[in-house]
Amino acid sequence: MRLRAFALLLACALPAAAQQPAIEQKPYDKPQGIYATINQSGAQSAISQLAQLFPTPRREAIAAAIASAPRQPPPVLYALANAISLDDPRMEEAVFWYHVARLRAVYDGLRCKDASARNAVNILGKGLSPDVSRYQRQHRPRTLEIAELAIKWDQQNPRNYDHRWINLYGKVARYSAGTDPSELTVPEGEWPDILRRVHEAHMKSVQEFAAQK
């Protein structure tokens, strides 16, 4: 079952065609019990700041997000990629943060016991700027190099955010009383192997994408 879930998450690694952002689906905002302790402080504010249309405040938000990137959950990193993509000269940087965001979102999804919550990866991916998707299709070899850099960054920068953010996208968080902390995340002893497989599979996926014509 875990291998099947892994394959499904990787199926949307890179877009075959430009995608327009879908109607946004929000994480559940009325959690109970242990779910109410999931730390989302600052995430929505950072996303809103990154979405600003005026260049100066948006670039200030970009600089702040990059400076605190290891502390930012994947939804903020996706928003960071989209914000950077508005400046053509920085498109490679936008692609880089997209890959970092996706690596971390997939890893968090596979650590989450609620399989339905893993749909967050698809939701975030569908909101990716079409410009980022287009750049990757037009620069496949460079995209592979950027993916390698993203994996290195992910390895070198410990996650300092609440990885349980993804649980709020699932069905269990909506209906559970939240009295059993063990229902959120797989045992920590499994995490290193999950991360290794995420890195390996992401690299393989991008290699296949780069080899396409």
DSSP notation for the chain = -HHHHHHHHHTTSS-SS--PPPPP-PPPS---GGGGG---TTHHHHHHHHT-SSHHHHHHHHHHHHHTGGGS-HHHHHHHHHHHTTSGGGHHHHHHHHHHHHHHHHHHHHHBS-GGGGHHHHHHHHTS-HHHHHHHHH-HHHHHHHHHHHHHHHHHS---S-GGGGGGGSHHHHH-----GGGTB--GGGHHHHHHHHHHHHHHHHHHHHH--
The b-or-e profile of 32-61 (16+ CB within 10 A means b, else e) is: eebbeebebeebeebbebbebeeeeebbeb
Whether 207 has a pLDDT exceeding 90, the answer reads yes
Q: What is the pLDDT of residue 40?
A: 85
Task: Give the distance from CA 53 to its chain's centroid.
Answer: 22
Residue 122 reports pLDDT greater than 60: yes
Q: Which two tokens stand for residue 192?
A: 């290193």
- How far is 126 from 142, CA to CA, in rounded Å? 22
Residue 162 amino acid letter: D
Which tens digit of pLDDT belongs to each residue from 147-182? 999 999 999 999 999 999 999 999 999 999 999 999
pTM given for the model: 0.89
Using one digit for the tens of pLDDT, what is the confidence trace for 47-100?
999 999 999 999 999 999 999 999 999 999 999 999 999 988 899 999 999 999
Find out whether 105 and 132 touch, Cβ atoms under 8 Å. Answer: no
